[in-house]
Structure 1
Amino acid sequence: MNPHLWSWAALGGAIACEVVATGFLNKSEQFSKLAPTLVSLGLYGVSFYLLAQALRTVPLGVAYAVWGGLGIVLTAIVSIVVFKQRLDWIAMVGIGFIVVGVIIVNAFSKAGGH
């Protein structure tokens, strides 16, 4: 597999693990439930490992912006769909700005090396 493609796949895996880990963090009830706590900590570990692998070819600033930005957006979606939490319109506008920022970095920046 192309090393650059592998790096982006690793970044996608890191984002997915971080989002699922955050969901289990919510289920751990402030680390008072052992199983969700252990799943959360394990998935955060895998997420950081995959993020480190992504840094082989993806610049740190770009990788972290994508990881953090998409992690925030996807976690917000999980909080709405799975946990039935509500976001007000200000929160949604802010999340929209994050999405626009990630798109700008990936579509127009030469820093990503694509």
Structure 2
Amino acid sequence: MLKSWIFLGVAIVAEVVATSGLKASEGFTRLWPSLLVIAGYSVAFYFLSISLKDIPVGLAYAIWAGLGIVLVALIGWLIYGQTLDAASVIGMAMIIGGVAVINVFSKTAVH
């Protein structure tokens, strides 16, 4: 079971790397960032599919989407200088809180 959570973590990191690379690819006109995007999404979906052997799809997707949103927004802020206002920070905190609630209290979560 722990392996499935590790696989989900790998999938999330790969998806965040791929999504962050989309901006650098400039509409798939730059080779190396474009290859990073393709490789990242390939790794992400492969490891997501493996993690779904033990983790319910709804739970895995909630964690994938929630953490992906927050991490990509943070990368946009750190690397691309995109601004995060109070509303976006509060919204991301709510997303993290929602993922935590699902993991701690939901009966669909595998504990």
What is the TM-score of this pair, normalised by structure 2? 0.95
The correspondence for 2:29, drawn from 29, 32, 36, is 32
> How many residues were matched structurally?
111
More deviation, 13-22/90-99:
90-99
Say which SS state the counterpart of residue 57 (structure 1) adopts: coil
Task: Please list, as runs of the form range in 1=range in 2, the aligned pairs for 1:24-63 lying within 5 A after superposition.
Answer: 24-63=21-60
AA matched with 2:70:
V
Aligned-pair CA distance for 1:105: 0.6
Q: Structure 2 unaligned segments of length 5 or more: list them.
A: none
Corresponding position: 1:21 with 2:28: no
Aligned-pair CA distance for 1:42: 1.0
Extract structure 1 runs of 4+ deviating beyond 2 A. none
- Structure 1 match to 2:4: 7
The correspondence for 1:68, drawn from 38, 42, 65, is 65
Once residues 43 and 57 of structure 1 are traced to their aligned partners in structure 2, the CA distance between those partners, rounded to angstroms, is 22
CA RMSD of aligned residues (A): 0.9
Aligned-pair CA distance for 1:57: 0.4
Residue identity (%): 45
Aligned-pair CA distance for 1:34: 1.4
Q: Structure 1 unaligned segments of length 5 or more: list them.
A: none
Aligned-pair CA distance for 1:83: 1.3
- Structure 2 match to 1:77: 74
Once residues 23 and 63 of structure 2 are traced to their aligned partners in structure 1, the CA distance between those partners, rounded to angstroms, is 23
